Amino acid sequence: MSSGPIYVCPMHPDVRQAGAGKCPHCKMDLVPEGAKFGILRHMAGNPLHLAVMVVVMVVLMAVAMMMIK
């Protein structure tokens, strides 16, 4: 008999409870188990989001390389 989804802290995987709430360590909202990478999966699954992520990473790396010299 299940009492609903298990919620976990994204920063402290040892914090688990049967309902939504806050992490006692960092006060972050608990997320349903398995939802931690949902946003990343959504962004990587959309070609426009993927293109934007690649462009931003290239620009940031170029800026970092210019600052090193």
Q: Count of H helices and E strands in the chain?
A: 2, 3
Q: What is the pLDDT of residue 31?
A: 85
Pairing of strands 31-32, 16-17: unpaired
Q: What is the pLDDT of residue 36?
A: 60
Q: What is the pLDDT of residue 1?
A: 46
**Contacts made by residues 1-5, CB under 8 angstroms, sequence distance 24+:** 5/32, 5/33
Q: What is the pLDDT of residue 21?
A: 92
- Averages of pLDDT over each 10 residues, the chain, 69 residues: 76 88 91 72 75 92 91
Note if the pTM is more than 0.75.
no
The answer to whether 51 touches 45, Cβ cutoff 8 Å, is no
Q: What is the pLDDT of residue 59?
A: 97
Domain boundaries, the chain: 7-68
